[in-house]
Each structure stands twice: as C-alpha cells, then as structure tokens.
Chains A and B, each alone.
Chain A
C-alpha cells in the first residue's frame, strides 16, 4: 500500500530538533526525519534512550514544536495539541488528587461536554478497559498496572483518531505489562476502539514485534531512521512463529551495525569528535563478562539470546556491549558478541590483575581517559577542574551526553586508579599509583 493512495493520518515531514548550546551553536538531536502514520496500523518507534524517539512522539502530539519541518494531521498543519490525538504516558501522568473516574473524565474537559455526559462516557471507557469497581479509588491506591489502565481509559474516552503511546509498559513488571499488552491488542483486534492508528514508542524489541505492523528503528548521533521493518505476521503475532524470531534478529543486526558505525566514527584519533561513553559501570562490565564466559555462552553468543537469558532490555544490553567493544574486551560482529583474548584474561584474573588490565585498556582505547590523565600529569599541582573537560566535551556532545560521558570516565578512572575525583571541589586529581 503506497502512501500516495492512502493518505497518512499523521504525517511528519522533514522534522528536525535542535537545542541551543551555551557556545551558541545548535546541537542537533535529529534532523529531517519523516514518518507517516497510516490508517489502521500500529507503528513502532524503536530506539535506545537518547535517540529522540520520545521527542518525536511529542512532536507528533503537538506537545513540542519542532525546530524544523512540519506535522500534518488529517490534511491540516498541526499547531499544538489537537482534538483526536490522545497520549498515553510512560509515567501514567495521572492527577493524584482526582479519583479514577475524575481522571478519566479529565480527557473530556477540554471538549466542553456537560458533566453527566462526561461521566457516562467515562464509565463506558472504564468498563471497556477493565477498571470496573475502581471508579472512586485514588491513583495512589492502585497498582502500577491499574494506573496505566486509567491512563489508557483517559486516552480512549475522547474517541481519538490517533493514539500516541510513550513506552506505556516500561514502568511495569514483566507479567503486568504482558497482560496489559494482550488486553490492548484484544481491544485493537476486536475493533472496539474508534482509534484508526497508533504510534508506539519503545525500547523493547520483543514488544515492538509483538504489537506493531511496522517498525522504524532509530539511530542516534545524529538521530535518524536507520531502518524500516515490516511485520508481515498474521495477527495476533505469535512469539513461537518462526517469522517472529527472524524479525527480532533482523532488528538486532540493525542495532549492532549502528553501534559499530558510531564507535568507528569516533575512533579517529584527535581532531575527531570525542567519543560519547555509554552509562556503564565497572561492576556491570565485570558482571557481564563473568556471566558471558560461563556456559552455555563460553564467550560467544547472539545478542537476542543474551537479552532473553540475562533479562536485559535494549537499553541495558547495547550500552554494555558497546562499552566492552570500546575497551576491546569483546567484539560486536553482526548480531553477536564475542569476548576477545583480553576479555578472557580479565574474566579469569584476580582483583589486582583486573585493575591492571582495565587501566591498560582504558589508556589505550579511551582517548578521553588518556587526555585527563595527561593533563593531570602535566599540571604542577596535578589537579584539574571538571568544568574544563565538561566544556571541551560540550563542544561536540549535548549537555546530557557530556555529563554521562564524564560520569562514566570518572567511574572507570577511579576503578583503574588512573585518576581520582573530588566532588567537593569538583576537580580531578592525579592518582599517585598510576603508571
């Protein structure tokens, strides 16, 4: 089905988002992203944190104005939140001072519907979503799953054309989120909703394949759509279907190659942009390596298998894998991960040996660590303010990324005893035991 025949319900054309940096230059989160939400589909936006997927959803909902490009909704330019577009939030966003019934009726407040009618419709939505009997409860009395049901009821009470869901299940435990997903899919399949199309933002690959008809994989730095994947399975999508696993694997490969691309792009020594480091602690690294070298993996496995076995989401797995790759303790190849010789030594070594090895690798493969170490070495008092490196990093990275990168390198440097950091004076200090 081409977009030419069937007009998209919601159409984002060449939207860009950029933030102003203190230096005056604009830092791009993503630029020229186009996506169309078609009639009758659930479209998935999959990406890691920082890829701008939630920002895209907010642009689609008119909550954020893009710095470039346009959003068209049913043939009209979207200018702020509009009737017919409803949002379900990751954190539920319920008003704590309103009861379940009132929270649902809030969705109708803006429509100027009279009270009795508003309550009648709210009751219907509450019935539909399985909240019967909880009308007079306050959100704080409900479990997470029930709270998100209120979030859904509040969204569908307005009979929206488009439903925007921002990681709606990620704050819930595994069982609850599965129940909620299934319930939603049942409603969707049973055509009990007036909603024509839905946009689902998620970082859970399995969830995306289970729920969506089409998945857009977002890459970060700079944000863009890296791949579009059609889910051509019969509804309801079945995890045991051979096609299901194939699509999951395809997504993993896409994400891996994006990770590698970004690491390679930042490897150019000096002159190139500094490498953003993932938020991974030394504990996570050594814990992961220890699990990874043990049977059944013996230092080599497919990422999809690891994600399932270690109960890691994309948001945890890929950063850890990337950190291992950056430090050359493991290598990302295709859709799998393999420990290097150094990684195997690290796994077997004692505490002191690990520290030594980590220090070596940190100095060799993480230019930022080398840089900090050299500056401290050159300075008379062997001290350097954190702000200095912060500023250097912020020339190329967003404030958030720079902050995260510094946090990571501080943690790694402390573990390796390469340098210390004093939070009171906010200064890096030279560690005497370093080579």
Chain B
C-alpha cells in the first residue's frame, strides 16, 4: 500500500507542518459545526403562534435567513437518505412489499407537494404543539417529499439492475446481507442516487421557499428564512428587498453546490460501473483541498478505515439452524393474508375519504375543480410547447459547441435549481405596472423555473451526439430542415423527453404558487387548478384542498401514462442499435 511505503521511506513518523489548506479546511469544519449547532437550537425553540419574531427586511439579516433555509434542506436530505435506504431496499427485497410500495411511490411522485402543505402543517403543529419543531417539521417534510420519491426510485432501480457477475461474485464470496448492502448495492446505486439527489435538490429550493411562510385559514406560520423574507417583502411592496433575497439565494445555491454537491459528484465518480475511463472526470476543488491537506489526510484515512470496518463487518445472524423440519406457512396462505391486509387498508381509506369529503362536497365542486384542471393542463402543454420551440434550437446550438456548452451547462443547471418563486414578485410588479391580463401573463411563471430542465437536457443530448453521425450528415450534405428532422432531433429525442417530463412535473407544482399571486394588498388570479388549491388553502377548506390535489394528481398521472411514458419507451427503442 502506498501509505506503508511512504512511512517506511523515512523509517520514522515524520511530523508535517500545517499549511494553508489545513487552515481553510479547519475553518470550514468548525463553521459547519457551529452553524449546525446554533440553527438546530433555534429550531427547537418554543413556538407561540402569536409571538413569532417578525421577519426583518434588513439585508444584514439575510445571511442568517439563508442559513436557516439551507439547514432545512440538509435535514430533509438526511431524512430522504434514510427513507431511500429502507423503503427502496424493502421494495427490492420483498416481492409482497414491492407490489404495494412501488405503485404507491409512483403515485406519491405525482402528487403536488405544495398542495398538501396545509395538511402537513396542521399535522406537525399538532405533533409538537408548543415548539417551532411543528412548522419546521412541515417545511422539512415538504422538501423531503420533493426529494425522497425519486431518490427511492433510483435506488430501487439500482438494486434491481445489479449486474449478474457482481451479484454472483458477492454470493460466491459469501457476503452477509450487511456486507452485500454496503459493498455492492449502495456503491452500485450511488451514481444514480447522487444524480437524483441533485435533481431533487433543485426542486427542493423551490419548496423550501414556498413552505416557510404559509397561512392555513386564520393561522399564519412564518419560519425565519429566505421564503418568509420574500413573503414579508411582498406584503410590504418592497422591490429592493426582493432584489437582496435573490442575491442571497444565488450565493446560497452556489455555495451549497460547491461545498456539498461538487465534492459528492467528484467522489462518487469511482462508483461508475463502466470500465472505460471517462473523458471528463468530475473534479471538485473543495474535495481536493481536503484530500491534499496534510493535516486532514490521517483524519480522512481513519474515517475511511472506520467506514471500511463497518462495511466489512458481517453482522450476520448466528448460523441459521437448518429449517428442514421446522414448519413454514405455505406461500399461498401468506399471500392471501398479505393481500387481504392491503385490500382492507384500501377499503378503510376509501371509507374515510367518503365519510369526510362526501359530506362536504357535491358533484358541482368536482366539475368546477375539473374544469380548472383542464385550464391548467392546457397551460402546461402550451408552455412546454413554447419552451420547446425556444430551447431546443438553442440547446442544440450550444451542445454542438463543446467550449460553449462547458460554460452554459452550469448556468442552466443553476437556473433550474434557482427557486423561481423568488422572481414572481418582480413579474407581478411588471404585470401590475403595465396593466396586463393576469390570465395570460401569469401563465409563463409556471414554467419560469422548470424550462431549464429542457435546456440542459437538450445540451447534454447534443454534446453526446456521435460526431461520426454529424460528419456523415455533413458529408452527404444534409442540411436545413432535413438535418433537424432526420439527424439531430431523433438524436436528442431521449434527452428531450427526460427534460420535458421533469419540466412538466415542475410546472404542475409551480402552478399552485404561480396562478394566484399577490403584491401588497393587490391579489391577482389566473384561475386554474393551482389557483383553486391556493385559494382553498388560504380559506382553510380542507375537503376542497383534498379535491384539488386529487384532481391534479389524476391529471399528472394520466399525462405521464398516456403521453410521457409511451414517448420515453419510443425514444428508448429507437435509439438502440441491437
């Protein structure tokens, strides 16, 4: 081993002088510890609805708010990881659990997060009645729900697609279940998991901002954070404060990316299964800093050793006694019991819904919600169409120029991560200023934050387009519309579909905050399902919120099944050569 060699050369342990990298690394670590500590203490402070600390609009308060917002993101991320490792593992290992858990996950993915925020706030506040943990919990839960589902999905997919040879090798070497999990399953699923974590994180900023200041009925919940700062600025009609908030958010996102995700992505590169060396190896300055700092090397090494021992530990149950003679219930019987249980749970849920909702709602409500739903559906389609027309040509143009796409790609990813709801007030101010029609001009807000997914996926597709195919097209002098139609559009199609799915999913979620907006006392509404849910939330009308969420979920699931999945399958089939 290299480390051994190094020590043996000198023969004795050499003490090394600390250098600047140590200082920087220490500062980072201490600051992180301090921040986590203080923010954590504030989170469990007693909560009195009437005595909330007022949100200050002073720019000096913003770093503190940004920190609180970021902390929520971190906690939610940790929770999502725990959820992913348990839920997805259970689904992948147990046939019976799988039949329930995976469809459930599929639906959960399609439920608009902001829609059920009002439920979760009430729930968490009742859970921790006299502590800030209630609303904090609700906000964290909102971020959690924006991340956990697709992380769990990707982990589940990873577990199901473990290459046969690696599976056989770990069985041949008789790994225990614990060793198998940490040695094979987690590493194999890691790249997909981290990619999904990043994707969810972009969504997460949106939801954390939206969930910090929320009012259900008469009660207003405000958590110190950038979202509440913006809410206060809107109420005060303070455009300057909104500018400061945008700046603070930008800094927070860039720092988060540089300090957390870049190092993660660079580190996770070794988990790629492809055996060829990548052309572009992700790198991170921060990770290199820690790896190269002399003082941190032994620390990193001991952490590595501990982690390795944990992964190597067998933790197997004591040698299983042969079960030859012990009685095991017949499979059929267990199946019947299990599915019986599932069915009764479903029946009970239906009964509950009918009991609570049926008493309050009429067919008229359903028709009203549905017609609003169609209006929003129309908006989503038109906007995705417009975004496609704008961003596909630009994405292709950028993607085919490697140098340009190197510069544009991080910007597009940043824009996708930036919570567009911070920009809404600016748009609303402009609409009011020019007296434009809200039904039309509020619509683009839905896609303000999510159109970037189309852009950066198209850029990724165009950069991955085989240069030989481009050269072939050029040598046969295929150009103009035929070039688009025959060469590049089919080439980027799978990437485009991926981007469009994400964009449309995000647009649905965004509709809840973008179809009904306010500036000071002025309220603008564009109608549509999002506005419906937002208004019902404000009114505290739980049955109608539930109705709105249900209608939206059905619409989202329907478009996924009827449009996006077939398109995705087509894209996958068309681009395969074998």
Contacts and interface: CB of A to CB of B under 8 A. Distances in A.
Interface of A: 58, 61, 63, 80-83, 85-87, 89-98, 101, 106-107, 109-110, 112, 115, 119, 135-136, 138-141, 147, 154, 158
Nearest to B314: A112
Contacts of A89: 165, 168-169
Contacts of B470: none
B275 A96 contact: yes
B1 to A, nearest CB: 6
Given A93-B169, A95-B166, A110 B271 contact: no
18 contacts: A58-B168, A63-B171, A81-B173, A82-B174, A85-B172, A86-B172, A86-B173, A87-B168, A89-B165, A89-B168, A93-B169, A110-B173, A110-B176, A110-B314, A138-B270, A140-B272, A140-B276, A141-B277
B183 interface: yes
Q: Pick the most buried of B183, B271, B272, B275: most chain A CB atoms within 10 A of its CB.
A: B275
B179 interface: yes
B174 A110 contact: yes
A397 to B, nearest CB: 21
Contacts of A110: 173-176, 179, 314
Interface residues of B, number: 31
A92 B169 CA distance: 9
B165 A83 contact: no
A93 B172 CA distance: 11
B321 to A, nearest CB: 13
A109 B1 contact: no
B180 to A, nearest CB: 10
A96 B273 contact: yes
Contact of A96 (B2, B168, B172, B271): B271
Q: What DSSP secondary structure best describes chain B's contact surface?
A: helix
A139 B165 CA distance: 15
A97 B270 contact: yes
B272 A95 contact: no
Contact of A63 (B166, B172, B190): B172
Nearest to B190: A97
A58 B165 CA distance: 11
A107 B1 CA distance: 18
A225 B272 CA distance: 41
Contacts of B187: 95, 97
A92 B175 contact: no
Given A97-B187, A109-B179, A119-B1, 20 more contacts: A61-B172, A63-B168, A81-B172, A85-B172, A86-B172, A93-B165, A93-B166, A93-B168, A96-B271, A97-B270, A106-B183, A109-B312, A110-B173, A110-B175, A110-B179, A115-B308, A135-B1, A140-B275, A141-B277, A154-B173
Interface in B143-188: 163, 165-166, 168-169, 171-176, 179, 183-184, 187
Interface in B523-542: none
A160 B321 CA distance: 25
B362 interface: no
Contacts of A83: 174
Contacts of B274: 140
Contacts of A140: 272, 274-277
A115 B313 CA distance: 10
A95 B165 contact: no
B309 interface: yes
A83 B174 CA distance: 8
A139 B174 contact: no
A8 B342 CA distance: 52
A24 B184 CA distance: 35
A63 B190 CA distance: 26
B24 to A, nearest CB: 26
Given A97-B270, A110-B174, A87 B277 contact: no
Q: Pick the most buried of B173, B184, B314: most chain A CB atoms within 10 A of its CB.
A: B173
Q: Pick the most buried of A63, A93, A136: most chain B CB atoms within 10 A of its CB.
A: A93
Given A93-B168, A95-B184, A115 B275 contact: no
Contacts of B174: 80-83, 110
A97 B309 contact: no
Contacts of B183: 95, 98, 106, 109
B1 A96 contact: no
B218 to A, nearest CB: 54
A423 B168 CA distance: 35
A93 B165 CA distance: 5
Nearest to A113: B312
B278 to A, nearest CB: 9
B484 to A, nearest CB: 22
Nearest to B168: A63
Q: Give the 7 A-B CB pairs with smallest separation, nearest first.
A: A93-B165, A93-B169, A110-B174, A87-B172, A97-B187, A91-B165, A97-B271
Contacts of B277: 140-141
A87 B169 contact: yes
A136 B308 CA distance: 15
A240 to B, nearest CB: 36
A63 B168 CA distance: 7
A353 to B, nearest CB: 31
Contacts of A63: 168, 171-172
A89 B309 CA distance: 26
A242 B171 CA distance: 43
A10 B141 CA distance: 57
B430 to A, nearest CB: 49
Nearest to A83: B174
B479 to A, nearest CB: 28
B572 to A, nearest CB: 14
Contacts of A61: 172
A158 B175 CA distance: 14
A136 B2 contact: yes
Contacts of B173: 81, 86, 106-107, 109-110, 154, 158
Contacts of B271: 96-97
Interface string B360-392: 000000000000000000000000000000000
Nearest to A106: B173
Contacts of B272: 96, 140
